[in-house]
Structure 1
Amino acid sequence: MHDILVIGGGINGTGIARDAAGRGLDVVLCEKDDLAQHTSSSSTKLIHGGLRYLEQYDFSLVRKALIEREILLKAAPHIIWPMRFVLPHHKALRPAWLIRLGLFIYDHLGGRKILPATTTLRRKSTSKLDALKDEFRLAFEYSDCWVEDSRLVVLNAVDAKARGAEILTQTRCTSLTRHTDHWEAVLETSGETHTRQFKAVVNAAGAWVDDILDLDSNQPDVTHLRLVKGSHIIVPRWHEGDHAYFFQNGDGRIMFAIPYERGEFTLIGTTDVPYDADRDKVEITQDEIEYLCDGASEYYKVPVTPADVAATYSGVRPLYDDHAANASKVTRDYVLKLDDGAGAPILSVFGGKITTYRELAEDAMATLAGIFSETAPDWTQTASLPGGDIPDADFSSFLGELLREYAALDPALIERLARAYGTRVRLLLGKAESEAGLGRAFGAGLFEAEVNYLVESEFARSAEDILWRRSKLGLHMSENERRAFADWFAEHYGA
């Protein structure tokens, strides 16, 4: 009998599996699709406190997230890095003094130690307002962090496996039968089923959490989730510099415009739209595209139009239904619900933010402490994620060392691989002394050696897994290159 079945391969599920495995528990994680295939790869890709939540007086959530921000920055400095955000003062919206007060609280609420504090910018003394309309003459610049969200999920799964967990992707839980002291679960992979027994179940299925609860016929027929769609557009680079913008909208919402994919693009988002359609095929609407273009164009000198959009992505946030009237004001904090009154326990996870996933996992294990009383104590606060054990979290020095070590390879390739894989990059590159040593080239800097590594070490099972979640190289490839790679992958690894 296993200890825990974790259902769901998003950030919450993989984070809990990693934490539990690191405490010595026998963990199995199943995910019906790929890791991070849904909500966890559709975020705005920020590790942040959530500045806008201060207006909702959600100080507890903001403080919790700000503390986690620097913990995660140290744990994975290759996929998480500091970013400065420029918040222009819009005279028709919030007054400047209120914004500055909010940023003062934001700077001090979470015990900031690494990231620089807020500064005031004026058009006459900075170039960071040059991309904006002339009316925006005052701005405030503050700190948060960027994250490669889908890679964060994968690295948690990689670490969970290294600590003894079994990670089953493309595996659906089709049945849950509760007994006094265990759960019997039927898992289906490629049409074949097998039955396992577990002392406890963690339901971290995201937008499908209620569906998992429905597998247990004794569960009351209650809907716990409020699904809210968030969509993003990707346009060619719309402003110079490595800073992002924080735009206030007239409807009370906010929007980010962020340098994306080595600065070749700008990512603009997000929307907040109630959602009740197909959770497996979440797509942006034309209204959302126009909303994001109009919001950005309120600030940029050069308007953003739907014709400029190079790509889009959308995801569903599975928020805990707190009955807020406005979708933008539904709590983003997580809620854990333990049901252990009718036999073996099931812990269900509702809501949450990428930034607070590690603490959520700790809270989940604390909630299950009565069932697994002999486990090791909390451990993830000081532990690096795979590839994140960079001395002093100094990515620049680490990159310089790699560039010297692999001087014969393209520096841009080395930098991209270092960002993606951190100290594990040497497992991929080996002793390659030329690009020929990395095998077939597929375009956009993708080589056979990287593909093999992703299949063997990071659970990649399809061309899409590699081009859109383990990386975003699909954005940089032509349609012909993407098609040729998919054909090659199917031939070598199966459809």
Structure 2
Amino acid sequence: MAASDFTSDLDYDVFVIGGGINGAGVARDAAGRGFSVGLAEKDDLASGTSSGSTKLIHGGLRYLEFYEFRLVREALVEREVLWLNAPHIIWPLRFVLPHQAGLRPAWMLRLGLYLYDYIGGRRCLPPARTIDLRTDPAGKPLKPGFSKAFEYSDCWVQDARLVALNARDAAARGADIMTRTECTGLQREDGGWRITLKDRRTGATRQVTARLVVNAAGPWVDAVLTRVAGLNRVHNIRLVQGSHIVVPRLFDHDRCYIFQNADGRVMFAIPYENDFTLIGTTDRDFDGDLDHVAIAGDEVAYLCAAASEYFANPVTPDQVVWTYSAVRPLYDDGASKAQEATRDYVLKIDGDAETGALVNVFGGKITTYRRLAEAVMADIEGILGTRGPAWTSSAALPGGDFRAMTFDRLVDDIGARHPALPRPLIHRLVRNYGTEARRILADAKSLDALGTCFGADLYEAEVRFLIDREWARTADDVLWRRSKLGLRLSADEAARLQSWMARVQSEAGQPMTGAKP
């Protein structure tokens, strides 16, 4: 078969391996420029690193110490771009940084925050300021020895929902999104790729073809190169585990703390899901099973001890109600410590338009995923040619199209249309789905109209939406990635949800791999 014959009749222009934030972002951008796109994720969307972040859209204040000015500036610029395009799942957050005698001096913190405010073109977020912890409410939960702090702005994100919304938008623009689908073979053929896919729910395999492959498998990126593509002696990434703990709410205000630790690291204590505080993260090299990542006992002890250095009431392991861990695939730059390894992304191309190109994505952080996707698109267009202009900087993600009104006004508007429904339920739905909350609620006049209640305020109407439109297939998909209602449902309630979802999908003949929901 001639190369021209093969490449003129391929299933896809671009095939993406990996359904984390980078893979979903690339698929969205490519589909929006007019490329035919397929994406395979071996588990659920955001089931790895992208749901295990500290959930911040931030420049990375501490990266200034490692002179990563380009990365910090790019991330700072992206904060407001992403906020404007997804104001339902991203919102501003003020950070309180207490000055700790004997650690970084106050002048260094002031200089860092001056740079932080001005190198990123901040427009909407308020600037940094100095606060007196003896009089400011932020000082109340802390030990009495802290008197001065610096306060600055970054943003919060529902990380797994950011991935799902990028995949949603990619699908709306023509991409095929295949979850629970593992790429088990990559073979160059006549200037393109023959890709073997395995449905992990049924065991069935099939093959598709593509002109170019993007390897955005996150922690598995080297494994794709060695086990799937058959390359040898591959080592591009440093696997670093980060773990978090969640405890009952430690303070009443809505600001976040960033604490300096004696070991040079920083740690966050963040208001979480109204009734909790999220504390993290750790940084340690990882060499275990990537499919079974869990917090270690010494990590729990470390986070509790570090928080207790600042809070007046000690944080103890018995307070922990939930933990999560993820492995960051950092590009291996030879840094001596896990915390010093670069968070920047690196792209490497193997092959070309004649032999079949493979674009490999190493590293990156959730804040810069959209810019990473644009960089990947520059490589793709250099190989396949240009189809359409860059477009994602001003394009709202699904549900985020309410720039003409504030978040609270949208809640009021939907509440007025559904006066019989509880305000907290409407607020949560708008926070998760933005304007698409209207689609979930439809013309419901009462809670009964939303169907079965599985616990907390999770109703059948929402779960059906997630099955039909966001590739949710299990209770964990719903409770820990599309939402965090796992913090509120009992084990029995979660099991009942799982049974219901399995039955509904079986009755509907729901495929485990989705295309365009």
TM-score, reference length from structure 1:
0.98
- Any conservation in 1 of the 2:51–2:481 contact (CA below 8 Å)? yes
Residue 217 of structure 1 and its aligned partner are, at CA, apart by 5.5
Letter in 1 for 2:381: A
Match of 1:212 in 2: 224
Match of 1:173 in 2: 183
- Any conservation in 2 of the 1:150–1:470 contact (CA below 8 Å)? yes
Residue 407 of structure 1 and its aligned partner are, at CA, apart by 1.6
Q: What SS does structure 2 have at the residue aligned with 1:422?
A: helix
Is 1:147 aligned to residue 183 of structure 2?
A: no
- Any conservation in 1 of the 2:16–2:215 contact (CA below 8 Å)? yes
Is 1:436 aligned to residue 448 of structure 2?
A: yes
Distance between the aligned counterparts of 2:419 and 2:320, measured in 1?
37
- Any conservation in 2 of the 1:11–1:354 contact (CA below 8 Å)? yes
1:8 is aligned, of 9, 18, 23, to 18
Q: What SS does structure 2 have at the residue aligned with 1:370?
A: helix
Is 1:123 aligned to residue 133 of structure 2?
A: yes
Q: What SS does structure 2 have at the residue aligned with 1:128?
A: helix
Match of 1:90 in 2: 100
Q: What SS does structure 2 have at the residue aligned with 1:317?
A: strand
- Any conservation in 2 of the 1:176–1:215 contact (CA below 8 Å)? no
Residue 215 of structure 1 and its aligned partner are, at CA, apart by 4.3
2:349 is aligned, of 322, 338, 352, to 338
Q: What SS does structure 1 have at the residue aligned with 2:390?
A: coil
Q: What SS does structure 2 have at the residue aligned with 1:117?
A: coil
2:319 is aligned, of 304, 308, 321, to 308
Residue 211 of structure 1 and its aligned partner are, at CA, apart by 1.3
Residue 406 of structure 1 and its aligned partner are, at CA, apart by 1.6
1:49 is aligned, of 22, 39, 59, to 59
Letter in 1 for 2:277: T
Give the gaps of 5 or more residues in structure 1. none
Is 1:463 aligned to residue 475 of structure 2?
A: yes
- Any conservation in 1 of the 2:473–2:501 contact (CA below 8 Å)? no
Q: What SS does structure 2 have at the residue aligned with 1:213?
A: helix
Match of 1:182 in 2: 192
Distance between the aligned counterparts of 1:357 and 1:422, measured in 2?
21
Is 1:272 aligned to residue 283 of structure 2?
A: yes
Match of 2:5 in 1: none
Residue 493 of structure 1 and its aligned partner are, at CA, apart by 2.2
Match of 1:487 in 2: 499
Match of 2:3 in 1: none
Q: What SS does structure 2 have at the residue aligned with 1:222?
A: coil
- Structure 1 residues 218 and 408: alpha-carbon distance in aligned structure 2, compared to 1, 3 A threshold: closer
- Any conservation in 1 of the 2:184–2:198 contact (CA below 8 Å)? yes
Match of 1:362 in 2: 374
Superposed counterparts of 1:244-393, under 5 Å: 244-261=256-273, 263-341=274-352, 343-392=355-404
Residue 394 of structure 1 and its aligned partner are, at CA, apart by 2.1
- Structure 1 residues 349 and 217: alpha-carbon distance in aligned structure 2, compared to 1, 3 A threshold: closer
Deviations 1:257-313 (A, max 9, x none): 00001x200000000010010101100000000000000000000000001100100
Letter in 2 for 1:134: P
Match of 2:112 in 1: 102
- Any conservation in 1 of the 2:185–2:229 contact (CA below 8 Å)? no
Tell me which moved more, 350-359 or 171-180: 171-180
Match of 2:515 in 1: none
- Any conservation in 2 of the 1:77–1:393 contact (CA below 8 Å)? no
Distance between the aligned counterparts of 2:293 and 2:231, measured in 1?
28
Match of 1:160 in 2: 170
Q: What SS does structure 1 have at the residue aligned with 2:145?
A: coil
1:222 is aligned, of 234, 244, 249, to 234
Letter in 2 for 1:440: T
Distance between the aligned counterparts of 1:320 and 1:413, measured in 2?
42
- Any conservation in 2 of the 1:428–1:449 contact (CA below 8 Å)? yes
Match of 2:509 in 1: none
Q: What SS does structure 2 have at the residue aligned with 1:371?
A: helix
Distance between the aligned counterparts of 1:96 and 1:407, measured in 2?
51
Match of 1:132 in 2: 142
Identity of aligned residues (%): 55
Q: What SS does structure 2 have at the residue aligned with 1:125?
A: coil
TM-score, reference length from structure 2:
0.94
Distance between the aligned counterparts of 1:105 and 1:402, measured in 2?
41
Aligned length: 494
Distance between the aligned counterparts of 2:107 and 2:416, measured in 1?
49
Match of 1:29 in 2: 39
Distance between the aligned counterparts of 1:475 and 1:179, measured in 2?
48
Give the gaps of 5 or more residues in structure 2. 1-9, 507-511, 513-517
Deviations 1:228-258 (A, max 9, x none): 0000000000111110100000000000000
RMSD between aligned residues: 1.2
Residue 477 of structure 1 and its aligned partner are, at CA, apart by 1.1
Residue 216 of structure 1 and its aligned partner are, at CA, apart by 5.7
Letter in 1 for 2:172: A
Tell me which moved more, 336-345 or 181-190: 336-345
Q: What SS does structure 2 have at the residue aligned with 1:277?
A: coil
- Any conservation in 1 of the 2:137–2:253 contact (CA below 8 Å)? no
- Any conservation in 2 of the 1:107–1:117 contact (CA below 8 Å)? yes
Letter in 1 for 2:46: A
Q: What SS does structure 2 have at the residue aligned with 1:368?
A: helix
Distance between the aligned counterparts of 1:164 and 1:200, measured in 2?
17
Residue 150 of structure 1 and its aligned partner are, at CA, apart by 0.1
Residue 125 of structure 1 and its aligned partner are, at CA, apart by 2.9
Residue 445 of structure 1 and its aligned partner are, at CA, apart by 0.3
Tell me which moved more, 232-241 or 363-372: 363-372
